[in-house]
Amino acid sequence: ASSPDEAPRAEKVSAPNVRLTHPDRVYWPDVGVTKQGLADYYMEVWPKIAPFIVGRPLSLLRCPGGVKDQCFFQKHGWKGMNAAIGQAPDPTDDEPVLTIDSREGLLGLVQGGVLEIHPWGSALKDLERPDMIILDLDPGDGVGWDRVIAAAHEAKARLEAAGLAAFVKTSGGKGLHVVAPLEPRAEWPEAKAFTKAIAEAMAADDPKAYVATVSKAKRRGKILIDYLRNGRGQTAVAPYSTRARPGAAVSAPLAWDELGPAIGPAYFTVANMPQRLAALDKDPWAGFRKAAKPLPEGETGGARRK
Ligand code: ATP
Ligand code: MN
Ligand code: MN
């Protein structure tokens, strides 16, 4: 009993089996992106986003009524959570963390109104040892985009001087994220000390341009080199994750030579990212995992240049 519409059977079997309720609900009213539109986006970018969100604890920004309504961070399970979202023990927490391992899981997030996906920098199989570190570059008021780009190049140079590889992505908000893949050997406190040393060295060498501490008052006209993402249980938005901000921007991995005035921090969106991926002949973050190196010994790892 095989009919033509049963032919692509394997595809059907592997097609994600998650029911979206209210697929026409508008999540980003300014650009008309719906819940179904978000699901379609994530299924398109699945091969690209999967390495960054599968098998890790996730902090989820849920906005069940869309970006104009209330949003809240969720680190633990909730009533009515889709069965495709998994949970895993965290030895330091009474409650399990949230995780996904498949496209079904990602659709489960969409079903739950998750508009931002924030993974830990370590995997479930080795929670105490980060496999990436991030310098989150946060421009204060009055800082031009050219200066944020310069900060990213500066962070890259310092990471490379310490023997690490550096990759850059837009945040989908106001800044850039410079990310270094690690072989997971050192534990969280070392990762934080290392990134703190880089942030403090940047601020010490160019105090008019950079600050390493979060105090709002000190930030005007400067770029905060936010290293505090590099602690156990801290997160940064995933590459290719959407943002719960107007425009349905996404955090977009870039090649270093793409940094320039044409591509702002929220330039890539749910609407144009699939076209970008189709048109690129090389993934700008190809070789991310292969470029992983152990965190260098010693607090500064050669990050201090002067
Ligand atoms: P932008 O470029 O606008 O700064 P961003 O994603 O870098 O965008 P930040 O405010 O710098 O935003 O925060 C960096 C990361 O810290 C976030 O991506 C998120 O993972 C985490 N974070 C920030 N605020 C919270 C919060 N209230 N609860 C949980 N995680 C948070
Ligand atoms: Mn930031
Ligand atoms: Mn920040």
Per-residue pLDDT of the chain (306 residues; tens, 9 = 90+): 344 444 444 444 455 789 999 999 999 999 999 999 999 999 999 999 999 999 999 999 999 999 999 999 999 999 999 999 999 999 999 999 999 999 999 999 999 999 999 999 999 999 999 999 999 999 999 999 999 999 999 999 999 999 999 999 999 999 999 999 999 999 999 999 999 999 999 999 999 999 998 776 678 899 999 999 999 999 999 999 999 999 999 999 999 999 999 999 999 999 999 999 999 999 999 999 999 999 998 755 444 443
| Ligand in closest contact with the CA of 234 | 1
User: What φ, ψ does residue 27 adopt, rounded to 5°?
Assistant: -90, -40
DSSP line for 208-277? TTEE-S--GGGGTTSEEEE-TTSSTT---PPTT-B-SSTT-BB--EE-GGG-STTS-TT--BTTTHHHHH
What is the pLDDT, as a whole number, of residue 216? Answer: 67
Q: Is the CB of 116 under 6 A from ligand 1?
A: no
What is the pLDDT, as a whole number, of residue 299? Answer: 54
| Tokens linked to 4 | 């033509």
Q: Which residues surround ligand 3, an ion (CB under 5 A)?
A: 136, 138, 226
From 60, 176, 192, 235, give the residue whose CB has the most ligand 1 atoms within 8 Å, as the site to mutate.
235
Ligand 1: centre distance to CA 17 (Å): 31
Q: Which atom of ligand 1 is nearest to the CA of 175?
A: 2
**Distance of alpha carbon 101 from alpha carbon 88, whole angstroms:** 11
Q: ipTM score here?
A: 0.93
Q: Is the CB of 229 under 6 A from ligand 1?
A: yes
User: What φ, ψ does residue 81 adopt, rounded to 5°?
Assistant: -60, 140
What is the pLDDT, as a whole number, of residue 300? Answer: 54
- 205, 220, 189, 121: which is closest to 155 by C-alpha? 205
Q: Which atom of ligand 1 is nearest to the CA of 251?
A: 6
What is the pLDDT, as a whole number, of residue 295? Answer: 98
Ligand 1: centre distance to CA 130 (Å): 18
Q: Are the beta carbons of 301 and 163 closer than 8 angstroms?
A: yes
Q: Whose CA is nearest to atom 14 of ligand 1?
A: 236
Q: Which atom of ligand 1 is nearest to the CA of 136?
A: 7
Distances (CA, A) of 10 to 14, 95, 258: 6, 37, 39
What is the pLDDT, as a whole number, of residue 11? Answer: 42
Q: Is the CB of 136 under 6 A from ligand 1?
A: yes
| Ligand in closest contact with the CA of 243 | 1
